[in-house]
């Protein structure tokens, strides 16, 4: 999986490991522990991704694309670099992993892929045109990959979190968290493990007949 060093990704990686998976984490940032196998990989670098995948001990059966960054600014003031860097990591990075691993999964007749998108890819977000576009694109990539690899036994789905109360999110301005709370239908906002459990379900045999879907895990922020 990508983006496993902290936050949502770390929770997903921990849940996978607890379920018995051998987790290989591709990330630029090293995690502060050794609970899974870490490889320093920039998902936006296609050659680095291909080399890292080729070095894995066998063909993966599961893939989670979670690598993501933000560079928030209104569209009128956004630089080319702020636009392209977010698209490069959030969308092109997932494409690189799917292109490298999807055909290998198809050749073995089995695979589960889950992409972490966002409710902002469904609804848009003021000041996040680059991020929203990357996450909307990831939904299109998910549905296309589901069609292309489905007959070979590979499912491809997406999970769309809203505000997730990671350590980073808890340091956001109180009004930002309060606004998310006002949007939510439920009393409590989403925790990282809520997202991890949704991912585990889509990777499980219980989701064998589900593909091309976007599962919102957002406490009802976007209904």
Which residues belong to the active site? 131
The C-alpha atoms of residue 221 and residue 62 are separated, in whole angstroms, by: 29
**Ramachandran assignment for 212, one of left (phi > 0), alpha (psi -120 to 50 degrees), beta (any other):** left
* Helices and strands counted in the chain (H then E): 8, 6
The C-alpha atoms of residue 199 and residue 217 are separated, in whole angstroms, by: 10
DSSP state of 180: H
Report which of 4, 7, 3, 2 is spatially closest to residue 170, judged by C-alpha positions. 7
The C-alpha atoms of residue 51 and residue 29 are separated, in whole angstroms, by: 18
**Degrees, nearest 5: CA angle 132-29-131:** 5
Say if CB 155 and CB 111 are below 8 A apart.
yes
């Amino acid at each position: 999986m990508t983006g496993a060093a902290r936050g949502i990704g770390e929770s997903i990686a921990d849940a996978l490991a607890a379920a018995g998976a051998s987790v290989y984490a591709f990330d630029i940032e090293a995690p502060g522990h050794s609970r899974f196998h870490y490889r320093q990989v920039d998902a936006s670098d296609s050659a680095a991704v291909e080399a890292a995948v080729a070095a894995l001990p066998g063909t993966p059966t599961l893939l989670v694309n979670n690598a993501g960054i933000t560079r928030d600014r209104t569209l009128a003031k956004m630089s080319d670099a702020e636009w392209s860097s977010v698209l490069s990591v959030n969308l092109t990075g997932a494409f690189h992993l799917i292109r490298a691993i999807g055909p290998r999964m198809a050749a073995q007749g089995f695979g589960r892929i889950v992409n972490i998108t966002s409710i902002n890819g469904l609804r848009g977000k003021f000041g996040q045109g680059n991020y929203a576009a990357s996450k909307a694109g990831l939904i299109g990539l998910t549905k296309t990959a589901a069609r292309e690899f489905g007959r070979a036994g590979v499912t491809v789905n997406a999970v769309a979190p809203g505000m997730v109360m990671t350590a980073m999110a808890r340091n956001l301005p109180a009004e930002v968290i309060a606004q998310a709370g006002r949007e939510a239908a439920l009393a409590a906002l989403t925790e990282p493990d809520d997202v991890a459990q949704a991912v585990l379900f889509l990777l499980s045999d219980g989701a064998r007949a589900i593909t091309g879907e976007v599962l919102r895990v957002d406490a009802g922020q976007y209904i």
